[in-house]
Each structure stands twice: as structure tokens, then as C-alpha cells.
Chains A and B, each alone.
Chain A
Amino acid sequence: MSFIVDRVIPALNDGLIMSLALIVPSSTIGFVLGVCTGVARVFGPRWLRSLGNAFTTLFRGVPLVVQLMILYFGLPNLGIYLEPYAASVIGFILCTGAYQSEYVRGALLSIKQGQIKAASALGFTRLQTILWIVAPQAARRALPGCGNEIIYLIKYSSLAYVISCIELTGEAKILVSRTFRPTEVYLAAGVYYLVMVSAATWILHKLEERFAVPGFCGAKK
């Protein structure tokens, strides 16, 4: 027991702080990037739509580990040197943004054309229609998917240790190599992730409840 209290918890707490420092900016900035990209892919001019589509295809198509390795080990060949932390955050933002944009795009496209016509017929401009009719509905439809993506991000943030950004998984791995007690250490690390994911799930659930509207997904019938 004292092994857990004296060695495991302090090490994992350090790792937890680094994990949170990766997850919080990556998920928020990634979400904003996803919303912008999703909107651009639906409402943007032709060139912007193509750009958004290309971005999404690229970052959804290449495994995240490979993206991180390119950022950290590949870019120096082009004279760009990134700290492990910066490379991780950039990789996570780009990857999660690409996935988020897919949910946002789907949600935007699900808004019935008839409502857009009705808004135009009332005198709404295109921008007003997007702002007051399309966006509020799209946000509700995108919320479950975007929430799931944030939960994935919590878990795939563990990949940062591959490019020597020592977060929760990295700390656990180092501790195991010193103590040779993988069972306790990795189980404890698993509990840390489980707690983070549960907390995120609970917050997202509250958000969905707060914005629930009859007839939308997530709403009580």
C-alpha cells in the first residue's frame, strides 16, 4: 500500500498535470478549429470547402502516432524544431479538429432545407439564418459526437509519450522500468484515465440536458 501512496500517486499526479495541460488546450482549440472547418466545408466558397475537405481527409486518414512522429522527428529536416509538448498539442489540435469538423458538418447538413427557406422568406439574411436558425440546431446535433471526440482525445493523449512528452502514461512507464511492478502502476494509471473520462462524460451529459429540446437527440421524449 505504501508503494502506491509513496511512489505511484506522486508520479502519476505529475503525469496527470501534464496530461491535463495537453487535453484542455487541445480539446478547446481543436473544437473551435472543428467548428470553423465544419462551417467552412458547408457554407464556404468553393476553394475553402475544398481546402477544408482536404484537411479533414488528411488528418483523419493518417494515424495520429504517425502525425506526431512527423511533427517531432520529421519537421527538423525542414528546419522546424518543436518541443515535445508543442508537437503533441499541435498534433492533437489538428487531429481532433478534423474529426470535430466531420460531426459539425453532418449536423449542419441535417438542418432541413425548409427551415432555411422559411427564414429567408421572413427576411433573414444568409448570415442571420446561419447564426440564429442553423447554428443553434447544429450545435445540439453535433454535441454528442463532439463530446465523444473529446473523450477519445483524453485517451489518445497517452500517445504523447511516444515523442517523449511525459504525461500520465509516460510517467507510469518510467516508474515501471524503475520498480518492475507493472500491475499496480498500470492499473493505477487506468483508474486515473477512467476518472478523467467519467468526469468529462458527466459534464457533457449536463450540457446535453441543459440544451435539450423536444424532438432533438438527447432530449427526453
Chain B
Amino acid sequence: MTVSLSPVLSARHISVNLGGKQILDDVSIDVSPGELKVLIGPSGAGKSTFLQCLNFLIPPDTGIISLESHEIDAKNPRALSLYRRQVGMIFQDFNLFDHLTAVDNVAIALRKVAGLSRDEARRRAMAELDRVGLSQKSGLYPAELSGGQKQRVAIARALAMDPKVMLLDEPTSALDPELVGEVLAVIRDLAAGGMTMIMATHQMDFAQALATEILFMEQGRIIEQGSPAELLAPGSGTRTGDFCRRLLDAAPAAAKD
């Protein structure tokens, strides 16, 4: 399948300086429809910062971000809200709204941001929970859900806004090993359904199997990028390959999951 459509999301020359420290240094990315780009790199490389720049949770100092070729003007609150609705975000620690049940976590933005009626929002929210296999848990509060279930609610919440692209920041690293699979299965379904995604992860098996491209970050820069086959081929001598082998050596037990 060779698609050369214009990118859904494009970020050019993003730089960020926080507290006098250069956290991101001229980082660029393009994601085309249906692509899954995986960000890897050591802790502190700037993966989370970069993902949060992409929807202006951390405003970049310089750089241009465009959605379907429209440059985003982050100074305009309406434009920014509209843009963020189209860019779903999944966090490492879920960030569910603690005072709302699973179904209301999904419904609240449908009502308050997208302007759906209470009934419509609820119906849509139930459909999204069903999609992540949680329709049975719709009435439970975050404190009553397992980590894996919380992350699936968070995914349903993002999907409900019909995002054009999803940003996932280590969606499984806060989970117990036995709960990682259920969340990865949901993300795998999304990829199979053609969702465009950028994901930071340490799950190399997953990246190898599903990524259209791997981007290796270090010290605020992308220092390698290419298909998993190129970067991870035995004897390729890439930094990416090196990093992954060390990851597997460091956690041989976790690698079996």
C-alpha cells in the first residue's frame, strides 16, 4: 500500500526552552493518514514534551504546526479549542476526571465542548465504551477501575471527539505487566481501523510489529528515523537497535509479555 497523501498533522522546526534548558531542538514530524509513528528514546529525551507541544499543552517557542495543511494559530482560543478537539491525547497516568463515572468521563466533553445534548452524549459515550470493551463498567468511578480499564476509558474519551490524529504518551508504562496487553489490543484495533497516531512507548515488540516509522529521540532531537525493518534489523548498527537491545537486556522478564 503506497499512499502519498498530504500529512494529517505536520510539525516543523519545533523548539522549546524550559527554565533555560533546551528541551526540544528543531524537531519536525509529518504524519500521513493511517500512519503510526513511534517515538522512542531514553528518559528525558523530550518525548512527552514534544507530544504536548503538538497540541500546545506546552506552547513551542518556535515552529509551525498544521492540521491538514492549515496552520494553527494558538493565540486564538476558539481556533485552539477546535484544533484540540481534533487531536486526541492519551497520557501515561490516564488523567481521568475523578468525580465522574466512566460514561460521564467520556460524555462531558461531548456535552460541554461539542455541544451534544445530555442524551446524545450519553449514547455516544456508551458506544465508545463498548468499542474499548467497557460497556459493563460505565457506572464506575475512576477509583473503582483498574489501571488498564482507566486507560481504556481515557482512549474512549479521546475517540468520542472524532479525532483526526491521536497522540499517545507511554500509554502502558504506568500499568502492571498483566494489564498492558488489554490496552495494546485496543491501540492495535485503532491502528487496524486506520487511525493516525503518534505514540511514545517502550514496548518494542509492539513498535516493531505496527509502526510505520520509528523516530529515535535523544537530548531534544530526532537522531534517527526509519521503518522498524531498517532500524531494528540485526547488525544494522543503529542507535535505535542498540537502545532496544539494552531495553530487552535490562528487563528480560517484561519482554516476554
Query: A residues within 8 Å of B by Cβ?
Result: 112, 114-115, 117-125, 128, 132-133, 136-137, 140, 213-216
Contacts and interface: CB of A to CB of B under 8 A. Distances in A.
Interface in B138-182: 141-144, 154, 157-158, 161
Contact of B113 (A124, A136, A216): A124
Contacts of B204: none
Nearest to A127: B77
Given A122-B109, A122-B161, A137-B99, 6 more contacts: A117-B91, A118-B97, A120-B84, A122-B113, A123-B109, A137-B98
Nearest to A122: B109
Given A122-B157, A124-B81, A213 B112 contact: no
Nearest to B160: A122
B130 interface: no
B221 interface: no
B218 interface: no
8 contacts: A114-B93, A117-B52, A118-B97, A121-B84, A122-B158, A122-B161, A123-B84, A213-B98
A122 B95 CA distance: 12
Nearest to B144: A214
- Nearest first, the 9 A-B pairs at minimum CB distance are A215-B143, A118-B95, A123-B85, A114-B95, A121-B89, A122-B109, A123-B113, A214-B143, A123-B81
B223 to A, nearest CB: 28
A136 B55 CA distance: 26
Interface residues of B, number: 31
Interface string B96-124: 11110000000011001110000000000
B91 A125 contact: no
A219 B178 CA distance: 29
Contacts of A117: 52, 57, 91, 95
B112 A128 contact: yes
B189 to A, nearest CB: 21
A194 to B, nearest CB: 34
Given A122-B109, A132-B108, A216 B81 contact: no
A115 B99 CA distance: 11
B142 A215 contact: yes
Contacts of A213: 98-99, 141, 143
B255 interface: no
B111 to A, nearest CB: 9
Given A122-B157, A128-B113, A114 B108 contact: no
B165 to A, nearest CB: 12
B113 A118 contact: no
B82 interface: yes
A216 B144 CA distance: 12
For B91, B98, B99, B157, the residue with the greatest tally of chain A CB atoms inside 10 Å of its CB is B99
